[in-house]
Amino acid sequence: MSNSPAKMQRRFPREAIQYGDKRIPAAKIECSKCGSVAYHPDTGLNDDDYFRKKGWSVGRGPAADVCSECQKRRPELKVVKMEKPEAPKVEPPREMGREDRRIITDKLDEVYDDKAGSYKAPWTDAAVSRDLGVPRAWVSEVREQFFGPEGGNPEFDAFIEQSAPIIAEMKNMANSLRIQSERFKELEPRISELERMGRRIERELGR
């Protein structure tokens, strides 16, 4: 005689159903997915085996019972549409209008020397651009179209001519000082050693 414990049978709710010309009690199972139901009148089989033979997946409780049709259905995969990131909008450069051209022309009439074919000191395309708050390219376009070459700035040219040799000399001095400083760092330990040696000799001679 086997000593293995008997298999625990699940208890299903009972309902009275019409069976032929009479009503009989039957076990009821309900699908946790779609809500469809099935019944087991007394057939000699236990309820679990009966429902499994009918294609049901019988769980340990009502929340796990699934009918055969729901078992056939595959879970729907949701396709998430990836949105393409919008490219940053680049504002086109502002075009020079008639009023812009007039303002630049008026300013150039004031600061450009037609006889010399250049700006009056200290004006340049860049200086006019800053003064009017317009792109330098606009100033250059109007100047070249109606006035002439940008030319040099006499004051700036004189500054470059006079400052260039001084700046070069200062760079040479700075480089010389750097070399001397590095040489001093090399000699400093030897100087300290010579000083210590001189004090020692002085003490010995003073005995």
User: pTM above 0.85?
Assistant: no
Q: With 0-12 CB in 10 A as exposed, 13-18 as middle and 19+ as buried, what is 13?
A: exposed
Q: Are the C-beta atoms of 153 and 122 separated by less than 8 Å?
A: yes
Residue 157 — pLDDT band, cuts 50, 70, 90?
low
Q: What is the pLDDT of residues 81-139, one digit of tens each?
A: 777 777 777 778 888 999 999 999 999 999 998 888 888 888 999 999 999 999 999 99
| Domains of the chain by residue range | 14-71, 98-146, 156-207
Per-residue model confidence (pLDDT) at position 42: 78
Mean pLDDT for the chain? 83
Q: What is the pLDDT of residues 71-84, one digit of tens each?
A: 888 666 667 777 77
